[in-house]
Amino acid sequence: MEVTELITLALKSLTANKLRSFLTTLGIIIGVFAIILLVSLGTGLQAYIANQIQGLGSNLIFVIPGRIGGARTPGGVVANKLSVQDAQNIELKLRDIANVAPVIQKNSSLKYKNRENKGTSVLGTTANYTKTVQNAVIEKGTYFTSSQEISGTKVAVVGQTVLKNLFEDEDPIGKRLFIGNNIYTVIGSLKKRGAIFGFDQDNTVIIPISSARRQFGLNQVNAIYVSVENENLIPFASEQIKKTLLKKLTEDDFTIQTASSSLEIVTNVTNILSLALGGIAAISLLVGGIGVANIMLVSVTERTREIGLRKALGARRNDILKQFLLEAVFLSVSGGIIGIVLGIGASLILARFFVSVVTPWSIFLAFGFSVAVGVIFGMAPAIRASRLSPIEALRYE
Amino acid sequence: MKKREIIRLLNITKQYKTDVVTTHVLNGISFRVNKNDFIAIIGPSGSGKSTLMNIIGLLDSTTSGKYFLNGIDTSKFGEDELAELRNKTIGFVFQSFNLLPRATTLENVILPSIYAGVSRTQRLKKATEILKTLGLGDRLNNRPNQLSGGQQQRVAIARALMNDPELILADEPTGNLDTKSGQDVMKILKNLNRQGKTIILITHEAEIAKHAKIIVRITDGKILKN
């Protein structure tokens, strides 16, 4: 039997039951749509986070308190033993090849006139911060100097969100604002840094670390940023940091990470996330496939007499098998194509509000899946049709 | 001129077994059909004539006995080979027409040639020709439900002729038709016989059987008179 004949035959019988064909196809459409959309979301998220981490700089090392991923870490909160002195020790050791910036981070409310900005992330750090972290760039005014830092002057550099909420159209430079109960003078503002995981990096204010220590009564730091002259120095610098810190601390008290090592962790996590999302979507495609099998079985039963007649007139097993298999594949492939179009459309729309990147492999995967679903779930009904005995099929009422 | 033998049945039996009973439908049928014969197999319902028809038409298997078609033992053939044999050598005309309801006259008629691998243009040309000789030239694109019973049976005859089979098997071809249409169908069959086709007709009406050259009576799975 010719291919064109088979195709026209399949199309005819599918269009003869338009509503039924559409509803069956809908199962595949939803499955393929979900795969494309969810994989796009996962990929978008991954690209976004990777971008954020690389924004910190590929030559950056960060030391954080506690041990991440260690088997020895108990489930509870571990005391933060990383101190400002540790940062100073690292700086002494690596002075020639690196900038070091310890950071104390606390959330606090900011006030200016009658306006308030809540939940602002207050970063207490050193004069080196802007040299150390790549995405901290001064837009207006100045950053504080190391003498201002050491003397604990109450000066502040504000992020874009703070600027917008507290000062609106006013020039913030020289204005005085409340951080908690203390008054600080604004000396500069930062360029926009964007949000990560819904955490607004621009809702921030930077103050000298000595001021932060006094205001919050802290000696522990939340992070020590170390930026080395070039990427090649990262292994050496990491080793030096470790040696220095181990003089006073144990391995459980700190974790040394780099942009690339944290990128690796995040990539692993988002890969698993993408897989899990894609897997859930694949289940819905599987359900769609069962729908195809179901409707094909109904179709074979309904057309038993037709099958008997075709066999009486000379159709071989293979002719009947191909006829019904092709119908199933047509159902699932047309569903696959519609699902791909809708999935790409939805991903593109979503990309305007949230992160979403359409990946070619997810399209091929979804298309391949829908073909496979058609073949696999169409096979059993088609085999059943091809094995009908012509005389019994002709007698069937 | 000695006539060539097309069909030879040797002591054919057919039994249907269920868990409880065995029904003997055919009890040793033997006869021959020569080229260009016109045979009517007549018998009351339940006589086994339809089963015999299905066996001759290679649609059903025998329990024992031999069936030679053109001198070849058909018991050796597999399902697909039987399909090919049906396709090339036998044309079926059924009591209930068995036309595909959603297909047009032309589409119904070309069905056997699709499985014979005839090209599209050729089979459409041939189907049109046959339908014209049967007086259906103006009904090519109608569906079966737009045709009268007589017209539907003529479409079925056209379909049976599509692959130029030697043998036409007609199972109660007039059973669902009024007298006039029935007469028309018999006229066509007689005509075909005159043109050289071998025809086996199954019927329970003596009136219809009279059209045939040879009448075979069958009762309780046995041939009464030849």
Non-local CB neighbours of B177 within 8 Å, separated by 6+ positions: B149, B150, B153, B185
Ranges A104-108, A116-120, A258-262, B165-169: which has the least confidence:
A258-262
Tokens of A200: 């607004």
Is A191 at the interface with chain B, CB within 8 A? no
Provide the shortest C-alpha distance from residue B24 to chain A (in Å). Answer: 18
| Of A2, A16, A311, Cβ closest to residue B83 | A311
Residue B156 buriedness (CB in 10 A; 0-12 / 13-18 / 19+)? buried
Segment A122-131, tens digit of pLDDT: 999 998 888 8
Amino acid A60: pLDDT: 86
**Distances B225 to B30, B41, B68, B71, B123 between C-alpha atoms, Å:** 12, 11, 22, 25, 42
DSSP β-ladder status, B22-34 and A115-125: unpaired
Nearest Cα residue in chain A from B120: A5
* The pLDDT value given to residue A78: 61
With an 8 Å Cβ cutoff, is B97 touching chain A?
A: no
CB contact under 8 Å between A314 and B88, yes or no, is: yes
Domain boundaries, chain B: 5-223
The pLDDT value given to residue A71: 46
What was the ipTM of the complex prediction? 0.93
User: In chain B, whose CA is at the least distance from the CA of A391?
Assistant: B59
B163 in contact with A, Cβ within 8 Å = yes
A11-15, A45-49, A341-345, B221-225, range with greatest mean pLDDT: A341-345
In this structure, are strands B167-171 and B90-93 parallel, antiparallel, or unpaired? parallel
Q: How far apart are CA A24 and CA A36, in angstroms?
A: 19
* pLDDT band at residue A72 under the 50/70/90 scheme: very low
Are the CB atoms for B211 and B40 separated by under 8 Å? yes
Partner residues linked to A107 by β-bridges: A121
> What is the structure's pLDDT at A146?
86
Whether the per-residue pLDDT at B151 is higher than 90: the answer is yes
> DSSP labels for A273-326?
HHHHHHHHHHHHHHHHHHHHHHHHHHHHHHTHHHHHHHHHTT--HHHHHHHHHH
Return all residues near B144 (Cβ < 8 A) that are at least 6 apart. B97, B99, B100, B101, B103, B105, B108, B152, B155
Bridge partners of A205?
A122, A158
Looking at CA atoms only, how far is residue A281 from chain B in angstroms? 38
Q: What is the pLDDT of residues B13-40, one digit of tens each?
A: 999 888 888 889 999 999 899 999 999 9
Q: Residue A107, class by beta-carbon neighbours within 10 Å (0-12 exposed, 13-18 middle, 19+ buried)?
A: exposed
CA angle A32, A34, A35 (to 5 degrees): 65
Q: Which two tokens stand for residue A19?
A: 């509503």
Confirm or reject contact between B115 and chain A (CB < 8 A).
yes
Q: A197 falls in which pLDDT band (50, 70, 90)?
A: low
How confident is the model over A104-126, as a mean pLDDT?
A: 90
Which of B7, B41, B66 minimizes the C-alpha distance to B218? B41
B164–chain A nearest CA distance, Å: 13
Residue A397 has pLDDT above 80, yes or no: no
Average pLDDT, integer, range A378-392: 92
Q: Where does the pLDDT of residue A200 fall: very low under 50, low under 70, confident under 90, or very high at 90 and above?
A: confident
- Domain B5-223 fold is Rossmann fold (3.40.50)
A310, A313, A389, best to mutate vs chain B, most B CBs in 10 Å: A313
Per-residue confidence (pLDDT) for residue B56, from 0 to 100? 94
A12 part of contact set with chain B, CB < 8 Å: yes
Q: What is the sign, positive or negative, of the torsion defined by CA atoms of B68, A388, B78, A319?
A: positive
Q: How confident is the model over B156-170, as pLDDT tens digits?
A: 999 999 999 999 999
pLDDT band at A5 (very low <50, low <70, confident <90, very high): confident
Q: Does A309 touch chain B (CB under 8 A)?
A: yes
* pTM listed for this prediction: 0.73
Contacts of B114 in chain A (CB under 8 A): 1-2, 5
pLDDT score at A168: 84
- Residue B143 touches chain A, beta carbons under 8 Å: no
Cross-chain Cβ contact A311/B84 below 8 Å = no
Query: How many Cβ pairs closer than 8 A exist between chain A and B?
Result: 60
Q: Which two tokens stand for residue B45?
A: 């319902």
The 3-state secondary structure of A141-166, one letter per residue: ECCCCHHHHHHCCCEEEECHHHHHHH
Q: Give chain B positions within 8 Å (CB) of A316.
A: 79-80, 83-84, 115
* Residue B154, amino acid: R
* pLDDT number for residue B185: 93
Q: Cβ of B16 under 8 Å from any chain A Cβ?
A: no
Does residue A77 have a pLDDT over 60?
no
The answer on pLDDT for A70 being more than 80 is no
Q: What integer is the mean pLDDT of B173-188?
A: 92
Nearest chain A residue (CA) to B108: A310
Mean pLDDT on A149-162: 90
Average pLDDT of the segment spanning A291-302 = 92
Residue B29: phi and psi, rounded to 5, are -100, 130
Task: Give the three-state DSSP class for B203.
Answer: strand
The string of DSSP letters for A77-127 reads PPP---BHHHHHHHHHHHTTTEEEEEEEEEEEEEEETTEEEEEEEEEEE-T
Q: How far is B42 from chain A (nearest CA, A)?
A: 21
Q: How, if at all, do strands A182-190 and A155-158 pair? A: parallel
- The pLDDT, as a whole number, for residue A229 is 86
Residue B214 pLDDT grade (very low, low, confident, very high; cuts 50, 70, 90): very high
Could you tell me the two tokens for A378? 């169409």
Q: Which residue of A has its CA nearest to B83?
A: A314
On the question of pLDDT at A392 being above 90, the answer is no
Residues of B in contact with A14 (CB under 8 A): none
Measured in residues, chain B has a length of 226
Q: What is the pLDDT of residue A351?
A: 85
Please say if the pLDDT value at position B200 is more than 90.
yes
| Of A200 and B78, the one with more pLDDT | B78
Assess whether pLDDT exceeds 70 at residue B81.
Answer: yes
* Residue A272: Cβ within 10 Å count: 11
B1, pLDDT greater than 70: no
Task: State pLDDT tens for residues A158-191.
Answer: 999 998 889 888 888 999 999 988 999 999 999 9
Which band of pLDDT confidence, cut at 50, 70 and 90, is reported for residue A394?
A: confident
Order of strands across the sheet with B5-17?
B22-34, B5-17, B64-69, B72-73
